[in-house]
Amino acid sequence: MATMTYLQAISDGMREEMRRDERVFVMGEDIGAFGGAFKVTDGFLDEFGADRVMDTPLAESAIIGTACGAAYVGLRPICEMQFADFISCGFDQLVNVAGKMHYRQGLPTNITVRLPSGGGFSGGPFHSSNPEAWFMHAPGLKVVAPSTAEDAKGLLIAAVRDPNPVVFMEHKHLYRRVKGEVPAGTYETPLTARIAREGSDLTVIAYGAMVHTALEATADLDGASVEVLDLRSLVPLDEEAILASVRRTSKVLIVDEANQMCAAGAQVAAVIAEHAFEHLDGPVRRVATPDVPIAFSPPLEQALLPGVDRIKEAARELLDY
């Protein structure tokens, strides 16, 4: 298998689907001649042409609305929002049209919306958000958040083939920092959780970039055996895997880069409290981002985002409980 970065794996997944299925096309701001803000679609215009690699105006609502219309005539568009934060400008089309059309009229909305998300690069308040909880609350949308290169490709392919609209949360901090072996050709990663590391004393639940932070923080934690569960999919949420892990270890720490209020981790905590309360040997702990905009200043940004030290402190408190 070839070794790829997280970014290359996403690019490879799109290429594979565009080569396999002529109904698949990509659209977004500067994705054609420029190759995308992060170069994910670099070279696509030369290979697939302007009819399937469409540069759009700075109009997120128009991008998603056009994608919905294309889906209703049988195409399979992939939309890139240059930064996840900008999805707010296309919120109505995604939540009220794409998410509800199957329920209202029986029409599948086969669109994939790529959202480069997350902080860690001093992007400031308009380029660093993790808005996945917005879409977890919106009926009809699936939400995925890969942490590895292999899953990034497999989940992207699964999203493109899914008849439902899928919000694909790709963490910018992972683009060139994470590498791994990626199978050639096409394959689909299931929308289920995976065990990133087995353990017996404590479960840490995370997704996206926080999986790697959690693995680093608990790699050598006073000899404790720490299990790390990578959710991969937020909608649907793999409740069975979550509960099975909690029942194995009896203690759980949830790490979520998104703002703490009503984040994905809050739903995970609610599931555990309702269905595995009698298996817990301590309170459900959470490490998340405070409910404030992300700062430009690197030291301030690092103070806000969940980091290794904060995770270690919370994990040790739970282990000693």
Q: What does pTM read for this prediction?
A: 0.95
Looking at residue 125, its pLDDT comes to: 87
Four-residue CA torsion sign, 166, 48, 6, 303: negative
- What pLDDT does 124 receive? 85
Residue 275 exposed, middle or buried by CB count within 10 Å (0-12, 13-18, 19+): middle
Q: Which CATH class is domain 2-182?
A: alpha beta
Q: What are 174-208's pLDDT values in tens digits?
A: 999 999 999 999 999 999 999 999 999 999 999 99
CA atoms within 13 A on the CB side of 297: 4
Please check whether residue 216 is in contact with residue 129, taking contact to mean a CB–CB distance below 8 angstroms: no
> For position 58, what pLDDT does the model report?
94
Given phi > 0 = left and psi -120 to 50 = alpha, else beta, which region is 280? Answer: beta
What tokens were used for 185?
């050709």
Does residue 121 register a pLDDT over 90?
no
- Among 202, 213, 221, residue whose Cα is nearest residue 321: 202
3-state SS, residue 294 = coil
Annotated domain spans of the chain: 2-182, 194-319
Q: What is the pLDDT of residue 174?
A: 97
Tell me the pLDDT of the chain averaged across its residues. 96
- What does the pLDDT look like over 31-76, one tens digit per residue? 999 999 999 999 999 999 999 999 999 999 999 999 999 999 999 9
- Which segment of 129-133, 201-205, 290-294 scores lowest on mean pLDDT? 290-294
Q: Give the pLDDT score at 123.
A: 85
Segment 152-182, tens digit of pLDDT: 999 999 999 999 999 999 999 999 999 999 9
Q: Is the pLDDT of residue 1 over 90?
A: no
Percentage of the chain with pLDDT > 90? 91
User: In this structure, which topology does domain 194-319 adopt according to CATH?
Assistant: Rossmann fold (3.40.50)
Which of 102, 127, 171, 212 does the annotation list as catalytic? 127
The radius of gyration of the chain's CA atoms, rounded to the nearest angstrom, is 19
Domains 2-182 and 194-319 share a fold: yes
Q: Would you call 127 a catalytic residue per the annotation?
A: yes
Q: Which of 51-55, 119-123, 278-282 bottoms out in mean pLDDT, i.e. has the lowest?
A: 119-123
